[in-house]
């Protein structure tokens, strides 16, 4: 196995979420001290356990959108083929794109050339440096850049059925049009949001990406533990 890069944000109680979504709520269900009174195990070796209660949307932290999220007739997360969530990836350097900026076709073409990897069915990750600039400040949910519809179609035209961004959305903050999400709906592709540590992949060429969702029946998305394996 090659070098593994963790691309996932830690899930914590009250962590920032998309501006339209509530933050997760994580509570202690039972501690080791509390479970002792149940009387499990043996008198000389009692068995105790700890559990947490977690309440959150299926679009919190590092997550993947199911087609159902942005299309009424789209597949739910349990219906999407596993092949969508793993494959050869490449990370494009878009750190010149400012907060609330647009990632357009020209940006992708220049970054593709710089990466020296011709995009052909890749899982494409877009490094803007946004997470490193702002996490965990409030700006992380109010100032993220976003993809244009044309840029999203550009990826689809090259056989990329999955791409991923830093921050809470592929569409820039404060948008009401959601062009990138609508383009994904129209092209039958999907995306990851709130990836981290993408700077570690810039200039590294191709790698193996994995970001498997939970098999939630009817899920509109799912948190993932995303990683890149470098050869």
Give the model's confidence band at 231: pLDDT under 50 very low, under 70 low, under 90 confident, else very high: confident
Task: Give DSSP secondary structure letters for the chain.
Answer: --EEEE--PPP-TT----TTSPPPEEEEEE-HHHHGGG--EETTEE----EEEEE--SSSSSEEE-HHHH-TTSPPGGGS-GGGGEEEEEEEE-TTSPTT-EE-HHHHHHHHHHHT---SS-EEEEE-SHHHHHTTSGGGGT---EE-HHHHHHHHHTT--EEEESSS-SSPTT-SS-HHHHHHHHHT-EEEES---GGGTTTS--EEEE-PBP--TT-SEEEB--EEEE-
Domain of residue 151: give its range: 63-230
In terms of domains, do 35 and 128 share one?
no
| Span 30-80, pLDDT tens digits | 999 999 999 999 999 999 999 999 999 999 999 999 999 999 999 999 999
Could you tell me if residue 18 is inside a domain?
no
In terms of domains, do 130 and 199 share one?
yes
Could you tell me if residue 175 is inside a domain?
yes
Residue 73, domain CATH = 3.50.30.50
The domain boundary, picked from 55, 77, 97, lies at 55
In terms of domains, do 108 and 195 share one?
yes
In terms of domains, do 139 and 215 share one?
yes
Could you tell me if residue 6 is inside a domain?
no
CA distance 92 to 62: 18
**Main-chain phi, psi angles of 196, to 5 degrees:** -135, 170
Structural domains of the chain, count: 2
- What average pLDDT score do residues 190-219 get? 98
In terms of domains, do 42 and 121 share one?
no
Supply the pTM of this predicted model.
0.96
- What average pLDDT score do residues 8-20 get? 96
* In the predicted structure, residue 4 carries a pLDDT above the cut 80: yes
Could you tell me if residue 14 is inside a domain?
no
In terms of domains, do 47 and 87 share one?
no
In terms of domains, do 215 and 115 share one?
yes
Task: Please state, rounded to an integer, the average pLDDT across all residues of the chain.
Answer: 97
Could you tell me if residue 188 is inside a domain?
yes
Q: Residues 193, 169: contact at Cβ < 8 Å?
A: yes
In terms of domains, do 150 and 219 share one?
yes
Q: Residues 162, 190: contact at Cβ < 8 Å?
A: yes
CA distance 221 to 162: 13
Could you tell me if residue 8 is inside a domain?
no
Could you tell me if residue 41 is inside a domain?
yes
In terms of domains, do 184 and 72 share one?
yes
In terms of domains, do 89 and 133 share one?
yes
In terms of domains, do 102 and 38 share one?
no
What pLDDT is stored for residue 1 in this prediction? 77
In terms of domains, do 153 and 215 share one?
yes
Give the model's confidence band at 174: pLDDT under 50 very low, under 70 low, under 90 confident, else very high: very high
Could you tell me if residue 7 is inside a domain?
no
Percent of the chain with pLDDT over 90: 99
């Amino acid at each position: 196995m090659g070098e593994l890069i963790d691309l996932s944000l830690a899930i914590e109680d009250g962590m920032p979420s998309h501006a339209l979504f509530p933050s997760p709520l994580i509570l202690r269900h039972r501690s080791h001290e509390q479970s002792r009174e149940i009387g499990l195990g043996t008198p000389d070796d009692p068995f105790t356990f700890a559990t947490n209660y977690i309440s959150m949307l299926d679009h919190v932290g590092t997550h993947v959108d199911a087609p159902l999220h942005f299309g009424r007739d789209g597949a739910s997360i349990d219906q999407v083929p596993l092949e969508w969530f793993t494959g050869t990836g490449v990370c494009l350097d878009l750190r010149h794109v400012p907060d609330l900026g647009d990632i357009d076709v020209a940006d992708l073409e220049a970054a593709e050339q710089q990466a020296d990897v011709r995009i052909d069915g890749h899982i494409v990750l877009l490094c803007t440096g946004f997470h490193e600039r702002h996490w965990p400040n409030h700006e992380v949910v109010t100032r993220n850049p976003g993809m244009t519809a044309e840029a999203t179609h550009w990826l689809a035209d090259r056989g990329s059925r999955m791409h991923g961004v830093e921050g809470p959305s592929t569409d820039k903050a404060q948008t009401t049009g959601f062009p990138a999400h609508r383009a994904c709906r129209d092209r039958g592709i999907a995306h990851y949001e709130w990836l981290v540590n993408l700077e570690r992949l810039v200039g590294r060429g191709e790698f193996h990406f994995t970001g498997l969702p939970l098999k939630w029946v009817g899920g509109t998305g799912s948190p993932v533990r995303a990683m890149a394996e470098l050869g």
